[in-house]
Structure 1
Amino acid sequence: MFVPCQGRARPDFKGSTLLMPAVSVGNVGQLAVDLIISTLDISKVGYFYTDCLVPMTGNNPYATTEENATELCINAEVYALPSKELVVLQLRSPFIKNKYRPFCQTILAWVKSCGFARIVLLSSSHAYQRNDQQLHGTSLRYLLSSVVEKTIESTLKKLNGKELEQVAAFPGVNDDEKVFHIPGGGITKLLFTESCSKGIPMVVLLKFCSEGDNIPDALTLADYLNEWLHLTATQNESSSIKSSRWKIPSSWKLLFGSGLPPALF
């Protein structure tokens, strides 16, 4: 359930694109969303109240001054940039066991009630579980629901990604039946199939990766999204400055902890 910030009127999201991450391997989608919010300086307009995520609270992850550093953030927050018809839902904690499906149903009900034009889900998948086809070429993939396939597929085919390959549902037994396999993708497959069954326009952009320092993966995924939506780039931008366009959030200083205490030495 969406709750607007105190003192704010309920915003009108009709016709906007909803951008959100899947809580997936390497947290790549969440890191990419961090880059987009920080770079575009998108304003927080509310919260998404749900019992499907582990509760958490913390300081402002996009702090720029001492004054706004004390603002609190929670596990699911909504940001909006009306000039680009963009709404961003950032998720900051993992899902509670057996809560994937209720969360997906809640999100899709909210999308329908608000009249969003489409959902764009940023995700990732285990690189070590790729099949032979997926080992060749780019590590970027896309998935399109049938509602948007005709209008968007030609554009995405021109970019640095490929449509996610299907794999045999029962390898060695029946190789004719194909399914999407997204290991480590969290809610990605469920949200995509639910969107398809309900006729909701949805685009999934994902990257194969491994756990570790996933900042380069997040930059690559953000670049991929930007090639399509042109959130920060100009048409004539040189490819040599792609990733330098992104503003790193202040919270990333502690991405791997606060370092070793000097007392150890």
Structure 2
Amino acid sequence: MFIATESTQPSFKDFTLIMPAVAVGNVGQLAADLIVSTLNMSRAGYIHTDCLIPMAGNNPYTTCREDAEELHTAAEVYTAAEIKVAVLQIRTPIVQTKSKKFRKLLVSWIKASGFSRTVVLSSSHAYQRDDQQLQGAPLRYLVTPTLLKVSGDALKELGWREMERVSAFPGLTDGSAEPRLYIPGGGITKGLFTDSCAEDLPLAVVLLFCSEGDNIPDAFTLVNHLNDWLHLQDKPSQGPNKWKIPTSWRLLFGSGIPPALF
């Protein structure tokens, strides 16, 4: 259930929604942080649901002392009205038994809000790649038939590589098993994509193969890849695009080593 920050409900008609899947390395969430921080997006509201582990904390995108103590929650929606982009940032894991319910809630809210397209930022275990997935860049995409009609040519021009379907039983060549979509470590990515295909939602998944660890470089790789398509920021005259790191990243790996240890 979406609850607006202001008394009047915001209009998301014709907006592009960007959201992360809670997946391996939290790459999608880190990439969403970079987008919200760089575009200086304003908070439009939050998603209230029992499907996510509850969380509350200080403003992760604080720019001054005045807004540092704002209370923020597990799933919030940010907007940049001038470029018609909204970001749903999900900060906590989905309750394991409520994954299907959460996907249903998301699909219902996306349809009701009138987003022109939805982009899910995700990741998958690098060590579980199929042989064909070891080739080329570690970036893949998926797109629903509804969005393919609109954006298929643009994605083809970019030279992006679609997520390969893999055999359920690698090594067998008798053709008895149909290749399937397999996204290990991807959280709700596959389920949400399948639901969106069934509901005729214009949705794309942009994902990266990665491993757990310091996934900040992976987040930059993913968000730069996304920017090639959506042009969230384009400043060719000023050299490479600059993404603004949010203040909350200073504590990403905890505080420093206490000098008293030595």
Q: Distance in 2 between matches of 1:247 and 1:74?
A: 21
2:97 counterpart SS class: coil
Taking structure 2 as the reference length, the TM-score comes to 0.95
Question: Do the aligned residues in 2 keep the contact of 1:139 with 1:161 (CA within 8 Å)?
Answer: no
Unaligned regions of 5+ residues in structure 1, if any?
Answer: none
Question: Do the aligned residues in 2 keep the contact of 1:168 with 1:176 (CA within 8 Å)?
Answer: yes
- 1:179 aligned onto 2:176: no
Structure 1, 41-50 or 174-183: larger mean CA deviation: 174-183
Q: Deviations over 1:2-34 (max 9, x none)?
A: 0011x4411011111111000000000000000
Structure 1 segments of 4+ aligned residues over 4 angstroms from their partners: 173-176
Q: Give me the CA root mean square deviation.
A: 1.5
2:136 counterpart SS class: coil
Aligned positions, number: 260
- 1:207 aligned onto 2:208: yes
- The residue aligned with 2:255 is 258
Residue type at the aligned position of 2:3:
V
2:76 counterpart SS class: strand
- The residue aligned with 1:91 is 90
Question: Do the aligned residues in 2 keep the contact of 1:59 with 1:70 (CA within 8 Å)?
Answer: yes
Question: Do the aligned residues in 2 keep the contact of 1:13 with 1:114 (CA within 8 Å)?
Answer: yes
- The residue aligned with 2:156 is 157
Q: Distance in 2 between matches of 1:114 and 1:249?
A: 28
In the TM superposition, residue 175 of structure 1 has moved relative to its aligned partner by 5.3
Structure 1, 187-196 or 145-154: larger mean CA deviation: 145-154
In the TM superposition, residue 96 of structure 1 has moved relative to its aligned partner by 0.7
Q: Distance in 2 between matches of 1:184 and 1:166?
A: 16
Residue type at the aligned position of 2:2:
F
- The residue aligned with 1:188 is 189
Q: Distance in 2 between matches of 1:237 and 1:139?
A: 29
Taking structure 1 as the reference length, the TM-score comes to 0.94
Task: Give the share of equivalent positions with the same residue, in percent.
Answer: 55
Residue type at the aligned position of 1:19:
I
Unaligned regions of 5+ residues in structure 2, if any?
Answer: none
Question: Do the aligned residues in 2 keep the contact of 1:170 with 1:177 (CA within 8 Å)?
Answer: no
63 and 160 in structure 1: CA distance in 2 versus 1, 3 angstrom threshold: farther
In the TM superposition, residue 263 of structure 1 has moved relative to its aligned partner by 1.5
Question: Do the aligned residues in 2 keep the contact of 1:76 with 1:90 (CA within 8 Å)?
Answer: yes
In the TM superposition, residue 237 of structure 1 has moved relative to its aligned partner by 5.8
2:142 counterpart SS class: strand
- The residue aligned with 1:166 is 165
Question: Do the aligned residues in 2 keep the contact of 1:53 with 1:95 (CA within 8 Å)?
Answer: yes
Question: Do the aligned residues in 2 keep the contact of 1:138 with 1:161 (CA within 8 Å)?
Answer: no
- The residue aligned with 1:148 is 147
Q: Distance in 2 between matches of 1:131 and 1:48?
A: 36
- The residue aligned with 1:4 is 4
More strand by share: 1
